[in-house]
Amino acid sequence: MITAMAPDALLQVDDLAVRFHGDAGTVAALNGVSFTVRPGETVALVGESGSGKSVTSLAIMRLTPPPPGCRVTGRVMLRGAAGEALDLLALPAEAMRSLRGSRIAMIFQEPMTSLNPVLTIGDQIAEAIAVHRGGARAAVLDAAAELLDLVGIPEPRARLSAYPHHLSGGMRQRVMIAIALSCDPALLIADEPTTALDVTVQAQILDLLRRLQQRTGMAVIFITHNLGVVAEIADRVMVMYAGRVVEQAPRRALFRSPLMPYTAGLLRSVPRLQVTAARVALEAIPGNVPDPTDLPPGCAFAPRCGHVQVGRCDAAMPALEVAEPDHLVRCLRWRDLASGTPG
Amino acid sequence: MTDGADTILEVTELRKWFQVGGGLFRSSTALKAVDGVSFSIARGEVLGLVGESGSGKTTVGRTILRLAEPTGGSIRFHGQDITHLSRRALRPIRRKMQLVFQDPFASLNPRMTVGRIVAAPLIIHEPAIGRAERNRRVAEMLRTVGLSPGHAERYPHEFSGGQRQRVGIARALVLTPDFLVADEPVSALDVSIQAQIINLLLDLRTRLSLAMLFISHDLAVVGHVCDRVAVMYLGRLMECAPTAELFANPRHPYTEALFSAAPDPDPDATRARIILTGDIPSPINPPSGCVFRTRCRYALPACADSVPPLRGVGPGHLTACIRDDLALQPAT
């Protein structure tokens, strides 16, 4: 079960599971998640609330609450700066802390709550640089100004003494990106980084991330619920539902020939920006996102699925099968559905 | 389309300024959240109001419903000027105009059953009807929005986001209004649930011939729901047109930029993306002339001179851009 780290992998996640124990019983927030991220690649994690996409990133960063409230099992391997394989879940806390921010960095959805309101922008960027790289104060502030310039903040020198409330949401997210990039990470985990932003600002931030990635060659795990954003930035996509990966494919294959009925339904239900669209009913997925404390037996999507076979789909959890070399699907019926059986 | 007796709502030069700052030795300044907005909505028509945060679209909705006092301009509802009506005089009018909120988690009282939440407007506005009749109307309304009458006994926390939004819609519709302000009604919902609520609103507008002001930042959603679309930026209307016309033939650079920035779930999309520089300016100190000129790639020196008025450029198509020589990219 434990395999060696693939030679071309930057991050390799095997059978990752996260369980929360609380008064209401145990919640399996994440089950059997396995994937790899190669250097320079963008992998999108797509899912709705409760799908486990954010928990995946927190578990990789070891930022989930401590046991006994929360238990993380499985294996997360990261390629270190010298090419060594690091077992993140087994690493001493100290070593993990020095990896965070330097080898793997993370940006969050809400740039207002992620920045400290009583420290200047300059102090917050300088802190990240000083902790991981050290150096004289003047040199650190120079580096901070350079980073602000890199992420497209005008008058970077003057901005160093600004406080977060002086900046707009888009500018704050740029500051967060500057902090994340301060130590030249090999992997950036971006958890809904544009969800709180306006579309015109979202376009700016996506463009910025793309240019930075080209320049630094970092890999990105991009967590989002927005399929439009996925179509734009991802190389590969993992679709999550109720704590499991239900489909994984290169971007084009996922959008053009989705195999899991959930993915297909999601793609059909999203309104498109079309001249001809007016007042046509959308193809909605019926039902609700399942409650993680009360998951249905078998395939978690079965109660909402138009292709469900009662007695089969709700009997046992389907395995994640290899449909194409790079296309995985968790559906008992993917073969009938792919071969054109309509419905 | 929006003239004459068929007009349900007519908003003229609406202004809503907030006084900010100020103190003993400093005068306050005006934040012009809404600055001279005019539009009308016909009976049964859905007008989309699009814009980014800070554009004033929510303030327009709240001011029309008189939840915020207008600073200037007028609001006529069913031909009656309601701009300065007293609270008491507004009461019978409020029955006819209702609001659906964005956040289905914050907008329902967690201590009330769904039945009481939906019955509350009836208790206030139709105290004369008996309990049995009230319960019958609540049950009927729950069925209308796709819930079951049995749900009346349950509390909001027992429901998912989409179901709660249905409760919010039921509460808004129980008095059989003919005008609804829906303020970002699907933005807080999961992707797979949004389409359900959009379809419900489409279905209800047909069945109940509701007129709606549909406030959203999502142009794709607006394209599916609305008959006409008004685009707002920094407190002013930039463009207003029938939906298909606006999507096929935008006449304001801001509209073009919004279309271009909207992420398209098509992996082979090859649109040239227009990336606006900078952020929306402060509404306390907006740019002179056209408020969009500081981010507009087509801006001319003349754009700074005076505020461009909305002018007709086609049937029902108004734009606040002074340039006629632009070939702007359509939505698709």
The pLDDT tens digits for B285-295 are 899 999 999 99
Gap from A319 CA to chain B (nearest CA, Å): 23
CA dihedral B278, B281, B287, B289 (to 10 degrees): 80
Under an 8 A CB cutoff, do B194 and A269 touch? yes
A contacts of B276 (beta carbons < 8 Å): 200, 203-204
- Asked if B217 and B274 sit in the same domain, the reply is yes
- Given pLDDT bands bounded at 50, 70 and 90, which one contains residue B5? low
- Asked if B255 and B312 sit in the same domain, the reply is yes
Gap from B66 CA to chain A (nearest CA, Å): 27
Task: With respect to residue B187, please indicate whether it lies within any of the assigned structural domains.
Answer: yes
CA dihedral B62, B68, B72, B74 (to 10 degrees): 50
The Cα–Cα gap between A43 and A305 comes to 26
B contacts of A286 (beta carbons < 8 Å): 196
Mutate to test the interface with A, among B57, B192, B227, B256 (most CBs of A within 10 A): B192
Under an 8 A CB cutoff, do A265 and B192 touch? yes
SS3 B329: coil
Is the pLDDT at A2 greater than 60, yes or no? no
Interface of B with A in 272-311 (CB under 8 A): 273, 275-277, 279-280
Q: Which of B223, B263, B279 sits opposite A277 (nearest CB)?
A: B223
B295 in Cβ contact with A170 (< 8 Å)? no
Under an 8 A CB cutoff, do B257 and A267 touch? no
| Number of helical (H) and strand (E) elements in chain B, helices listed first | 9, 12
- Asked if B219 and B301 sit in the same domain, the reply is yes
Task: With respect to residue B329, please indicate whether it lies within any of the assigned structural domains.
Answer: no
Is the pLDDT at B271 greater than 70, yes or no? no
Distances (CA, A) of B184 to B12, B61, B105, B230, B243: 23, 11, 14, 15, 18
Q: Where are the beta strands (DSSP E) in chain A?
A: 11-22, 25-37, 42-46, 70-79, 85-87, 104-107, 187-191, 219-224, 236-241, 244-250, 321-324, 327-329
Is the pLDDT at A34 greater than 60, yes or no? yes
State how many domains chain B has. Answer: 2
Q: Does B224 touch chain A (CB under 8 A)?
A: yes
DSSP-H helix ranges across chain B:
57-64, 87-94, 114-125, 131-144, 161-173, 191-208, 219-225, 243-248, 253-261
- Given pLDDT bands bounded at 50, 70 and 90, which one contains residue A113? confident
* pLDDT one-digit tens code per residue, A160-180: 999 998 888 888 888 999 999
Average pLDDT over residues B222-234: 94
- Give the pLDDT confidence score for residue A3 in this predicted structure: 56
Gap from B285 CA to chain A (nearest CA, Å): 15
- Asked if B135 and B16 sit in the same domain, the reply is no
Task: With respect to residue B325, please indicate whether it lies within any of the assigned structural domains.
Answer: no
Gap from A199 CA to chain B (nearest CA, Å): 6
- Given pLDDT bands bounded at 50, 70 and 90, which one contains residue A112? confident
- Give the pLDDT confidence score for residue A108 in this predicted structure: 84
Under an 8 A CB cutoff, do A200 and B258 touch? yes
B contacts of A48 (beta carbons < 8 Å): 190-193
Q: Among B148, B174, B200, where does a domain finish?
A: B174
Mutate to test the interface with B, among A48, A110, A199 (most CBs of B within 10 A): A199
Is the pLDDT at B157 greater than 50, yes or no? yes
Name the percent of chain B lying above pLDDT 70. Answer: 98
- Give the pLDDT confidence score for residue B282 in this predicted structure: 83
- Give the pLDDT confidence score for residue B274 in this predicted structure: 85
Structure-block tokens of residue A174: 């740029």
Gap from B326 CA to chain A (nearest CA, Å): 20
What sign does the dihedral B315-B317-B322-B327 (CA atoms) show?
Answer: negative
Average pLDDT, chain A: 90
Is the pLDDT at A217 greater than 80, yes or no? yes
- Give the pLDDT confidence score for residue B2 in this predicted structure: 44
CB-count burial class (<10 Å; 0-12, 13-18, 19+) for B210: buried
* pLDDT one-digit tens code per residue, B110-149: 999 999 999 999 999 999 999 999 999 999 999 999 999 9
CATH number at residue B20: 3.40.50.300
Q: What letter does residue A100 receive in the DSSP assignment? A: B
A contacts of B265 (beta carbons < 8 Å): 227-228, 230-231, 255, 267, 270, 272
Under an 8 A CB cutoff, do B192 and A284 touch? yes
Amino acid letter, B300: L
A122 in Cβ contact with A83 (< 8 Å)? no
Q: Does B258 touch chain A (CB under 8 A)?
A: yes
Average pLDDT over residues B207-236: 93
Structure-block tokens of residue A298: 């078998």
Mutate to test the interface with A, among B279, B282, B295 (most CBs of A within 10 A): B279
Under an 8 A CB cutoff, do A273 and B262 touch? yes
Is the pLDDT at A111 greater than 90, yes or no? no
Under an 8 A CB cutoff, do B263 and A199 touch? yes
The position carrying tokens 């090999």 is: A186
Under an 8 A CB cutoff, do B265 and A171 touch? no
* pLDDT one-digit tens code per residue, B51-106: 988 899 999 999 999 999 999 999 999 999 999 999 999 999 999 999 999 888 88
The Cα–Cα gap between B21 and B19 comes to 7
Gap from A252 CA to chain B (nearest CA, Å): 6
- Whole-structure pTM value: 0.89
- Give the pLDDT confidence score for residue A197 in this predicted structure: 82
CA-closest candidate to residue B77, choices B171, B131, B14, B129: B14
Interface of B with A in 150-179 (CB under 8 A): 160-163
Q: Does B11 touch chain A (CB under 8 A)?
A: no
- Asked if B80 and B223 sit in the same domain, the reply is yes
- Given pLDDT bands bounded at 50, 70 and 90, which one contains residue A14? very high
Gap from A81 CA to chain B (nearest CA, Å): 33
- Asked if B291 and B184 sit in the same domain, the reply is yes
CA-closest candidate to residue A58, choices A39, A40, A45: A45
- Asked if B281 and B149 sit in the same domain, the reply is no
Average pLDDT over residues A223-232: 93
- Asked if B12 and B159 sit in the same domain, the reply is no
Is the pLDDT at B270 greater than 80, yes or no? no
Q: Among B174, B192, B222, where does a domain finish?
A: B174
Structure-block tokens of residue A286: 């019926």
- Given pLDDT bands bounded at 50, 70 and 90, which one contains residue A1? very low
Under an 8 A CB cutoff, do B52 and A256 touch? no
A and B: number of Cβ contacts within 8 A: 161
**Sheet strand arrangement including B29-42:** B29-42, B7-20, B72-77, B80-81
CA-closest candidate to residue B203, choices B241, B177, B169: B169
Name the percent of chain A lying above pLDDT 70. Answer: 96
Is the pLDDT at A342 greater than 70, yes or no? no
Q: Which of B162, B192, B203 sits opposite A266 (nearest CB)?
A: B192
B contacts of A288 (beta carbons < 8 Å): 160, 162-163, 193
Is the pLDDT at A132 greater than 70, yes or no? yes
Non-local (6+) Cβ contacts of B39 within 8 A are B11, B47, B230, B237, B240
- Give the pLDDT confidence score for residue B1 in this predicted structure: 45
Task: With respect to residue B105, please indicate whether it lies within any of the assigned structural domains.
Answer: no
Name the percent of chain A lying above pLDDT 90. Answer: 63
Q: Can you name the residues that pair with A42 across neighbouring β-strands?
A: A220
Q: Among B174, B199, B222, where does a domain finish?
A: B174
- Asked if B227 and B299 sit in the same domain, the reply is yes
Nearest CA in chain B to A290: B160
Give long-range contacts, CB 8 A cutoff, 24+ apart: B143-152.
B144/B170, B144/B173, B144/B204, B144/B207, B145/B169, B145/B170, B145/B173, B145/B200, B145/B204, B146/B196, B146/B200, B147/B114, B151/B114, B152/B113, B152/B114, B152/B115, B152/B118
Under an 8 A CB cutoff, do A277 and B220 touch? yes
- Asked if B224 and B150 sit in the same domain, the reply is no
Task: With respect to residue B35, please indicate whether it lies within any of the assigned structural domains.
Answer: yes
- Asked if B218 and B305 sit in the same domain, the reply is yes
- Asked if B140 and B69 sit in the same domain, the reply is no
Q: Does B225 touch chain A (CB under 8 A)?
A: yes
Task: With respect to residue B104, please indicate whether it lies within any of the assigned structural domains.
Answer: no
Task: With respect to residue B55, please indicate whether it lies within any of the assigned structural domains.
Answer: yes
User: Has the ipTM of the complex gone over 0.90?
Assistant: no
CA dihedral A194, A196, A201, A203 (to 10 degrees): 30
Task: With respect to residue B103, please indicate whether it lies within any of the assigned structural domains.
Answer: no
Residue B91: domain span? 4-96+177-319
